Structure 1
Amino acid sequence: MHDTRLNRAVVRVAMVVEDGLRLVLLGLLRLRGKHHPTIVPFIGQGSPQRVRVHARVLFGRREADAPATGVPGAAAPTARSRRAILRASLARFLTVEVGGARVRVSVAGQVIGARADREGYLDVAVDLDEPLVPGWQDVELALPDGTAVVAKVVVVDPEARIGLVSDVDDTILETGIGRGMAFIRAALLTEVHNRSPLPGAAALYNAFCERPGEPVRPVFYVSTSPWNLHEMLLEFIALRKFPLGPLQLTDWGPSRAGLLRISATAHKTSLVRRMLAEHPLLRLVLIGDSGQLDPEIYAALAHENPDRIAAVYIRRTAHDAPSRTAQVDELAAEVTAAGVPMLAANDSVEIAAHAVALGLLDAAALPEVREGVRAAARERMVLLKG
């Protein structure tokens, strides 16, 4: 009890210090007169009757630094020095947030007022008077001074019956998040177009989301990576041709959730529960990796919602210890015996073959996933030779 009170006190002090520093920085930037509040949009999601809109209000962010819709294009890469790469990477984190900013949200002619939280984040649900058409829709976000951006929201087709929830780090994108320096090197010193996707993952995800004869299946990306990496991750998704979907990331820094960030268990569990509640007709396929706690988190969700979780797939990482491999295999067997198929797989082909056997994918998807794995192997050989 004493430790809990002490931890809470430390977090409160850290929050006060952070808020004080932010006020000082805001004052300095206003004195310079060259900066102004702007909105960085994130991808939202929802149903025809209700959409959830996400964004962040920052001070001093140049418009050129962020796409107007939050959905980047796959521009041709240009060569940069390691110093330039590091400078651009650090700039993503050197932001000044506008806490409590008022934002006008306009959806299909319906307008509501909202307010950002102390970190500048906007997370608002809009109940619609008239239902939206399924697919991608525009939402206008505007500040009192007239600064406005257009955010994208994916409206899930009510006829869809399967949705995909995927981790990001070491599930679609090789990051080495559990290996200290390897993760820092990848995050700060590697260009987006040089980041490696998991072989065959894009083909696998596209097969899940675009099954012939069915409505488009939604994909939701969940990660404990900071929101500062939202644009970089979206650019990676676009460049590597993964299906586009909302990314649910975390705020790093002192907050009511803790000193650094919310835990992976709390973050991912609450988001999957939200997806299940907001889309009651969807059954979810959960994909993660064995490097962190995805197996345990997804297994608990499968036990909690056996009728709503269609399958659980865990990618083995190359650095798993034998004890971790045995632990994940035992967990997969337990969850499968309880009625929810769970597989620990070495590659995308294993996942695809298992999903075909369950009727979640068409057999025609298997050759495409195999080719995706072979193409990734060829690309790595070229890089090694170069």
Structure 2
Amino acid sequence: MPLFDIARAVEDQFHHDVIPVLKRRGWRPRVVAYDGYGTSAGEPDGADMARVLARMVLRPVDAPTEGPLFRSLPERRPVSAAEVIDNARISLADAQRGWRLFIDAPVPFLPVTITVGRTRIRTRADREGYIDVVVRGHGLSPGWHDAVIDAAGAGRSSARVLVVGPEPTLGIISDIDDTAMISHVPRVLVAAWNQLVKYSSAREPVPGMARLYRRVQRAHEGAPVFYVSTGAWNVMPTLRAFFARHGFPEGPALMTDWGPTNTGWFRSGIEHKRTELRRLMIDLPQVRWLLVGDDGQHDPLIYGEVAREHADRVAAVAIRRLSTTEQVLAGGIAARPMGIGSAARMLAEADVPVVTGTNGFELASRLPTAIGGEGR
């Protein structure tokens, strides 16, 4: 038996043993909701869909809820008790050190009922407590909606779903680490510090990137924004606070789960991104995409593959160039920056505009105006 199979068995047995202990200590099931997405058929023919994402975990009964934190920070003082509470929720999530987010005990195979619009389905969480299901025939209009999640022992919670209209539009798919947020995640030690210890308030945004995304959204009303990352789902509360603080557009974040799988010790970050990009191409056929990433690791290669295979679905590719120091820290090869090598050749072979820059301001100045940039 491979070692990673043994590791998975040990992990499953640990969860099986620890759950009764935590329940005796007063811990109860809780739904941790993530933002999903869907489509609107434009007519009641049942052709629409919604992807609902969440996780079932055990937490103390007095543990704070995460709340709908992915919103812009207020520009004025709160004038009501409700606004004070909302602001406090943002501050609370921001103050959590990341390591606390990794100590949840998942509740595997918990029965769950999900209601989206006029459709209700029953399902179960997987072995890690995750819910990732598609609900069809919801009948909802474009925009943000709530999916109701009724989990056994956890009561009712809601997960937001961004429903994209049937009309052709432009969308953004963005990497997070070293694209939206300066974090040097590929470095093992610094990644551990950033993900497990560092406050989200200490993380730095890439200059001009939030402004670029908002500019594209203004040029294409209703343009959806998706954040695709190899980071763990556990860090979503701090990411929401980070995005809200720095003015990034709201949108679903498609993360991954760390730990042993049936094929290895850790999930492949490259395959995760490839899978999510191709799924978005299938789920949202009416959307052409602006793909935004950095040249620290694999984004040029992955985006080059997608652009070559689906040139009609990719409006442009924007790659943030890391400095020589950032390249070394991120695990890249400073001697072969973007523009040289197989990844760049693959991008060049795709019949799509490709721009590079060190930040969002430079990328905006070089993107075509038809996309929302300031270039030609």
Equivalent residue for 1:43, pick from 30, 35, 48: 35
Cα gap change, 1:123/1:361 in structure 2, threshold over 3 Å: closer, same or farther?
A: same
* Whole-angstrom distance in 2 between the partners of 1:171 and 1:100: 35
Q: Deviations over 1:159-195 (max 9, x none)?
A: 2421110000000001011334333333334322221
Q: Determine whether 1:323 maps to 2:335.
A: yes
Output the TM-score relative to the length of structure 2.
0.85
Give the deviation of 1:111 after TM superposition: 1.4
Verify: 1:225 aligned to 2:231, yes or no: yes
* Higher helix fraction (1 or 2): 1
1:18 is the counterpart of 2:11: yes
Matches within 5 A, 1:25-40: 25-32=18-25, 34-40=26-32
1:65 equivalenced with 2:64 (yes/no):
yes
Q: Is the 8 A contact 2:118 2:137 kept in 1?
A: no
Q: Deviations over 1:321-379 (max 9, x none)?
A: 4423155577446523541222232221221122235x21164x99xxxxxxxxxxxxx
Report the Cα distance in structure 2 between the residues aligned to 1:156 and 1:61, rounded to whole angstroms: 36
The alpha carbon displacement at 1:63 in A equals 6.5
Find out whether 1:234 has 2:226 as its counterpart.
Answer: no
Q: Distance in 1 between matches of 2:358 and 2:342?
A: 16
Q: Does 1:56 align with 2:48?
A: no
1:145–1:338 distance in 2 versus 1, CA, 3 Å: closer
Question: Paired residue for 1:296?
Answer: 301
Q: Which amino acid aligns with 2:337?
A: T
Is the CA contact 1:311–1:341 (under 8 Å) kept in the aligned structure 2?
Answer: yes
Q: Does structure 1 residue 360 correspond to structure 2 residue 371?
A: yes
Structure 1 gap segments, 5+ residues each: 1-5, 367-386
Q: Distance in 2 between matches of 1:143 and 1:335?
A: 45
Cα distance 1:68–1:259, how it changes in 2: closer, same or farther (>3 A)?
same
Q: Measured at CA, do residues 253 and 79 of structure 1 come closer, stay the same or move farther in structure 2, by a change above 3 Å?
A: closer
Could you tell me whether the CA contact under 8 Å between 1:66 and 1:231 is conserved in 2? Answer: no
What is the match of residue 80 of structure 2? Answer: none
Match of 2:218 among 210, 215, 221: 210
What CA deviation, in whole Å up to 9, does each residue of 1:100-138 have, x standing for no partner? 011110112421111110000000100015x21101001
Greater share of strand: 2
What SS does the corresponding residue of 1:299 show, helix, strand or coil? helix
Distance 1:169 1:217, change over 3 A: same
SS class of match (2:97): helix
| Structure 2 Cα separation of the partners of residues 333 and 97 of structure 1 | 43
Q: Structure 1: which amino acid aligns with 2:252?
A: P
For residues 318 and 341 of structure 2, the distance between their equivalents in structure 1, rounded to whole angstroms, comes to 11
Q: Is the 8 A contact 1:40 1:70 kept in 2?
A: no
CA shift in 2, pair 1:334/1:266, >3 Å? closer
The alpha carbon displacement at 1:230 in A equals 1.1
| RMSD of Structure 2 on Structure 1 (CA) | 2.6
Change (3 A) 1:224 1:146: closer
Cα pair distance change 1:259/1:72, threshold 3 Å: farther
Conservation of the 8 A alpha-carbon contact between 2:209 and 2:361: no
Deviation of 1:289 after TM superposition, in Å, equals 0.8
Q: For the structure 1 residues 63 and 208, does the alpha-carbon distance in structure 2 shift closer, same or farther, using more than 3 Å as the test? A: farther
Identical residues among aligned pairs (%): 32
SS at match of 1:25: helix
Kindly provide the amino acid, as one letter, of the partner of residue 113 in structure 1: R
Q: SS state of the match for residue 311, structure 2?
A: coil
Distance 2:335 2:4 in 1: 35
SS at match of 1:206: helix
The normalised TM-score by structure 1 is: 0.83
Matches within 5 A, 1:1-386: 9-32=2-25, 34-48=26-40, 49-62=48-61, 64-69=63-68, 71=70, 74=73, 75=87, 88-128=97-137, 131-145=139-153, 147-211=155-219, 214-260=220-266, 262-318=267-323, 319-320=326-327, 321-325=333-337, 328=340, 331-332=343-344, 334-357=346-369, 359-361=370-372, 363=374
- How many residues end up aligned between the 2 structures? 348
Does structure 2 retain, via aligned residues, the 8 Å contact 1:138–1:152?
Answer: yes
Matches of 1:264 and 1:278 in 2, distance apart? 21
Q: 1:241: how far off?
A: 1.1
Partner Cα separation in structure 1 for residue 300 and residue 338 of structure 2: 12
Counterpart of 2:246 in structure 1: which amino acid? R
